[in-house]
Chains A and B, each alone.
Chain A
């Protein structure tokens, strides 16, 4: 399957620990997005990359959050000094900008539980 893959699918951590999520987009896609989805809510935009450049970050992305996309392929989202409020599903999506299809392809998400 060549869809968007995310790892790990589930992560349980204690408050104050650091966690890192990885996203592998569809190989030819040049844009990669991170969203956060809390229980009972729709996804909220966090940040996105075009190739290796991070083009925009939401105000939701505090200083404890950092995302990278080295070499324009996979991406990582790191959360430092986790808080209970960080518990959520972190979704990655990719798209091929310039094709005018308007479609994001989402991964299955990485669920974070902070105890």
Chain B
């Protein structure tokens, strides 16, 4: 079955500390991979995506993610967290090949809390 697992439901980091959010997926082929962020009262916003090529992708707000095929993982990282990064983060996968599919499978999300 196709699925996305985000093992950490809730993470707390200190402002200025580094961050890594984990994402593992189960899919028949290498899917398209996405990270979205959802702040309270706001819609989901795309942070970054991976289709093919360089396995380290850069996104907005200083985030990056690394695709590791052997581990079926797509972990999100940020070297220094800001208080405004507190939000819920979702990893998602979509069927490859079309380049712009919206039929995504989301993980259950990781809530990030930032301590001052």
Contact = CB atoms under 8 A, between A and B. Distances in A.
Contacts, number: 66
Contact of B92 (A33, A42, A48, A100): A42
Which of A4, A91, A102 is packed against the most chain B CB atoms within 10 Å?
Answer: A102
B99 A106 contact: no
Contacts of B44: 43, 91, 93, 104, 106
B58 to A, nearest CB: 15
Contacts of A97: 100
Interface residues of A, number: 29
Contacts of B108: 40-42
A107 B105 CA distance: 18
Given A103-B46, A108-B42, A44 B106 contact: yes
Q: Which 9 A-B pairs have the closest CB atoms?
A: A42-B106, A106-B43, A100-B99, A106-B44, A33-B102, A108-B43, A104-B102, A103-B46, A102-B49
B72 to A, nearest CB: 17
A104 B104 contact: yes
A45 interface: yes
A107 B32 CA distance: 22
A31 B102 contact: yes
A contacts with B: majority SS: loop
Interface residues of B, number: 26
6 contacts: A33-B103, A43-B90, A44-B106, A103-B46, A104-B44, A108-B43
Interface string A79-114: 000000000000101011111111111111100000
